[in-house]
Amino acid sequence: MKLLEERILKDGHVLGENILKVDSFLTHQVDANLMREIGKAFATYFKSTGITKVVTIEASGIAPAIYTAEALGVPMIFAKKSKNITMTEGILTAEVYSFTKQVTSTISIAGKFLNRQDKVLIIDDFLANGQAAKGLIEIIEQSGASVEAIGIVIEKSFQEGRKLLEEDKRKVVSLARIQKFENRKIVFMEADA
């Protein structure tokens, strides 16, 4: 997605070996216009696949996921990272190792929001080693729903995530794919949409 790549080049900052900071438009401050275009791009790609729910993980997945859900005309559900006393029954959980926080946490979704008729599109802000996506797939499949595909805003293709998911026969659709960081410069490869 050209608009997204241009924005990453303009406002993204490479930190260390493998982290991209995009807090001015995606992970902290959010550019709603860009998110709307991202939502439309995913919706165009998936419009004929019969998606019934969009699922993401808090917090940074929520912005692209809500616009994707709006464009597809379906609900969005986000997995929670901390236990909530109002979530009392039928909780589906999975363990996820966080790439940026370097801790394992239990993520959860109330089972009542997913059923075996659902065809789910997972949306997340980044794909690094694929642990967040793996945890979401685990939770969604516990409910009997099926995972249609994983839509990623920014994929760091030099990390293991895509390979891990494709080995598991999952479809990954990324709007920006970063091949490498070269002297803190971002080098893209061809994106999926």
Element (H, E) at 148: strand 146-156
Q: Are the CB atoms for 83 and 108 separated by under 8 Å?
A: yes
- Rounded to whole angstroms, the maximal C-alpha distance in the chain is 50
Asked if residue 110 belongs to a known ligand binding site, the reply is no
Taking the complex as a whole, the smallest distance from the CB of residue 33 to ligand 5GP amounts, in Å, to 20
d(CA 149, CA 89): 28
In one-letter notation, the amino acid at residue 64 is P
Q: Considering beta carbons, is residue 22 or 72 the nearer one to ligand 5GP?
A: 22
Element (H, E) at 146: strand 146-156
If one asks whether residue 99 binds ligand 5GP (CB under 6 A), the answer comes out as yes
From 15-23, 70-78, 114-122, 140-148, span contacting ligand 5GP (CB under 6 A)? 15-23
CB of 134 to ligand 5GP, least distance (A): 7
Task: Give the separation between CA 97 and CA 131, rounded to whole angstroms.
Answer: 6
Q: Among the candidate windows 19-27, 44-52, 138-146, 167-175, which touches ligand 5GP by CB under 6 A? A: 19-27
* Residue 34 labeled ligand binder: no
Helices (H), 15-93: 32-46, 62-72
Find the shortest distance in angstroms from Cβ 176 to ligand 5GP: 12
- Measure the CA dihedral 103/26/54/122, to 10°: -50
The residue within the footprint of ligand 5GP, chosen from 51, 130, 173, 175 (CB under 6 A), is 130
Give dist(CA 133, CA 129) in Å, integer.
9
Stretch touching ligand 5GP by CB under 6 A, among 41-49, 75-83, 119-127, 139-147: 119-127
**20 labelled ligand-binding:** yes
- For ligand 5GP, which stretch binds (CB under 6 A), given 18-26, 107-115, 139-147, 179-187? 18-26
Q: Interface with ligand 5GP by CB under 6 A: which residues?
A: 19-22, 27, 60, 99-100, 124-132, 156, 161
